[in-house]
Amino acid sequence: MKETNVSRTTAQRAPATSYTSPAGEQTGQMAQAFKRAAVDHAHIAQRAYELYEQRGRQDGQALEDWVKAERELGGAVHHM
């Protein structure tokens, strides 16, 4: 029986890791912050509308309603 020495090149794969780069972490954190802000914004908008309804749907105080809703909900949205 004759042995043949055949050289084969195989692709080396990097081991699978769950490493996240600092930029990736920051992007993920920013995405979470935007989601929270959107949810907070929706809650504040809902509360401001409730205040508007409680006042008998009188126009002209939207800003006051919004600020009061923010205060009531703990200032959930931070303006940039």
Q: How many domains does the chain have?
A: 1
> How many angstroms separate the first and last alpha carbons of the chain?
78
Mean pLDDT of 38-65: 96
Q: Choose between 11 and 26: higher pLDDT.
A: 26
The reply to whether 57 falls in a domain is: yes
Q: What letter represents residue 68's amino acid?
A: K
Q: Is the pLDDT of residue 80 over 60?
A: no
The answer to whether residue 40 scores a pLDDT higher than 70 is: yes
Cα–Cα distances (Å) from 38 to 27, 44, 67, in that order, read 16, 10, 17
Cβ burial, residue 68 (10 Å; 0-12/13-18/19+) = middle
Q: How many CB atoms lie within 10 A of CB 44?
A: 22
Query: In this structure, is residue 1 part of a structural domain?
Result: no
Residue 58 forms part of a structural domain: yes
Could you list the residue range(s) of the whole structural domain that residue 68 is in?
A: 37-80
Say what the pLDDT of residue 76 is: 52
* pLDDT mean over 56-63: 96
pLDDT of amino acid 24: 81
pTM above 0.85, yes or no: no
